[in-house]
Chains A and B, each alone.
Chain A
Amino acid sequence: MSSKGVGLNARQIISKIFVYVILALGSIVVLLPLQWMISTSLKPLSHVFRFPPEFWPQKVVWENYPNALSQLPFDLYFLNTAFIVVMCLLGELIVSSIVAYAFSRLRWRGRNALFIVVLATMMLPRQVTLIPEFIVFRHLGMIDTFWPLILPSWFGNPFYIFLLRQYFLTHSRELDQAAVIDGCSRFGVFWRITLPMSKPVLGAVAIFSFQFHWNDFFRPLIFLLDQDKYTLALGLRFFQGTYGTEWNSLMAVSLVVMLPLIIVFFFAQKHFIQGVVFTGYK
């Protein structure tokens, strides 16, 4: 009866092979777009429009990369993006974990009601608030600065508050109480006990935040005007508008823009997956 260990019968072996074949074919389908991207990025332009298309470049042109990247100040766009991402990430980590602590480890009247509001805002499409937000930032003279992109992160993000709260709830209350009896302040408990015990979920939040702000296009599009302030996403869009059919250059730049995410993914994969698992909590 047992499907584990010894004694696989023929039917089980066949179904196992079937599973592997499906998964392998699926993997190829999933990876093919990236292969296509790399292959196109290395072709000379004349080969890009060859019919039928080549899956592998017959002639590899590495110069596509430096050539494409020197068309626009992508180094500046990179610095702008990095600055915005780091500032947003810090704000979201610090503020969301403080708020989440109050929602999970402290007892106070109104906690549950207020938390329902947090969840409700999590489900709110941000575009409903965007127009007044734009008007307010305009009145504050902050259009075409990084402020409208960074400031909201320093008010806590409902999604991260939710994630952190779920994790903090799993800690035992006795530990907090013991620390308080030993003379630790409530904030000390948060700082010295809760946070160090929550590295996996903090890592997950950091990665989500990085991923979101790195990819974000809508808000930079609305709030940034001057080309010197462009993020990579805006720069890439501008590049596309100018070199619309030079697919080898477009693929090269797009790949470079994706690369930091892919690198972070491979190094912090555990956090990514853990983080997603936290979100899936029922």
Chain B
Amino acid sequence: MSLAQFVKNQGGFANVSIGYKRGETVLAWAMVSPWVAGFLLLTAFPMLASLVLSFYKWNIISAPVYVGLANYHKLFFTDPLPMHSLKITVIFSLASIPLNIVFGLVIAMLLNTNIRGLAVFRTIYYLPAILSGVAVAILWQWIFSSDFGLLNTALRIFGIEGPAWLGSKIWVLPAFVIMRLWSVGGGMIIYLAGLQAIPTDLYEAAEIDGANWVQRIFRITLPMLSPTIFFQLITGVIFTMQIFTETFIMTDGGPANASLFYLLYLYRQAFQNFKMGYASALAWVFFIAILLLTLILFATAKFWVYYEAESEGDN
């Protein structure tokens, strides 16, 4: 699926090629001008500038020195940390995003079974999703405390002696995955709305045809929900790869760089070491990495994302 098609699927573009009014065009450009200015000043220009900067060595005080591809060479070959941090950021995302989607879907499906107290359950599950940032990071740092923390206290009830979580090279990434699962309610709300929009006659027809609940989930619910899941997947990649606050507050990248997520490393290079050129190269590599991941997902979409409009001959 192409981006243009994706945009079209977002709804609403009438194919009007005639009848533009001059006054309307002028007004329209006036109305979008703040965004256009913002795009040029805060996106396009800075992106170009950071691309240019990535070929320079610059400590922000003295004059920048052109170094060609040296920053990129360092990034890929001599400095081991950028690729290490990119690797753990991707591993973390590959664990966190699917788990959040699966848990979100399961809870939404359970809530969508004509139960009583739907509003109460929905409120409870959604509440953590609105909380984020420093306060949440501090809370989870305390929850993961090995001796006095909530998680290991709870595990002890079942006779399990939990690991040191944030102090363990092996368990620090799972700890971050668990923490992010707490806000699973954000996706759940969206799936729930999607589920409620699926026409019930589809299920009635399936029931008449003798489909059991597993078939109903895999043949009706998931295909009908696939555009929503796809959208969550794309935004999930962008959002999850950018993890920063939690690692900054809870582990500062440790132990032994086991939770040195990419943005933390970028932040250190740019705003603690003031290596603006090197940090710009890091930023561009990060951008390309996210872009590639997103494009791969878009390429897979035609195999599993089902758009109703396509079958109705929208073109």
Contact = CB atoms under 8 A, between A and B. Distances in A.
A261 to B, nearest CB: 6
B30 to A, nearest CB: 8
A27 B125 contact: yes
Interface in B5-56: 6-7, 9-13, 16, 19-21, 23-25, 27-29, 31-32, 34-39, 41-43, 45-47, 49-50, 53
Interface in B183-234: 185-186, 189-191, 193-194, 207, 227-228, 231-232, 234
A116 B3 contact: yes
A56 interface: no
Contacts of B125: 26-27, 30
Interface in A8-61: 16, 19-20, 22-23, 26-27, 30-34, 36-37, 40, 48-53, 55
Give the interface residue-count category, chain B.
Answer: 35 or more
Nearest to B122: A273
A186 B191 CA distance: 37
B131 to A, nearest CB: 6
Interface residues of A, number: 103
B13 A152 contact: no
B38 to A, nearest CB: 2
Nearest to A247: B142
Nearest to A153: B38
B31 A106 contact: yes
Interface of B: 3-4, 6-7, 9-13, 16, 19-21, 23-25, 27-29, 31-32, 34-39, 41-43, 45-47, 49-50, 53, 60, 107, 110-111, 113-115, 121-128, 130-136, 138-140, 142-143, 145, 147-150, 153-154, 156, 182, 185-186, 189-191, 193-194, 207, 227-228, 231-232, 234, 238, 241-242, 244-245, 248-249, 263, 266-267, 270-271, 276, 279-280, 283-284, 286-287, 290, 294, 307
Interface of A: 1, 3-4, 16, 19-20, 22-23, 26-27, 30-34, 36-37, 40, 48-53, 55, 95, 98-99, 101-104, 106-109, 111-112, 114-121, 123-125, 127-136, 138, 152, 154-156, 158, 161-162, 165-166, 169, 186-187, 211, 214-218, 221-222, 233, 236-237, 240, 247, 250-251, 254-255, 257-258, 261-262, 265, 269, 272-273, 276-277, 279-282
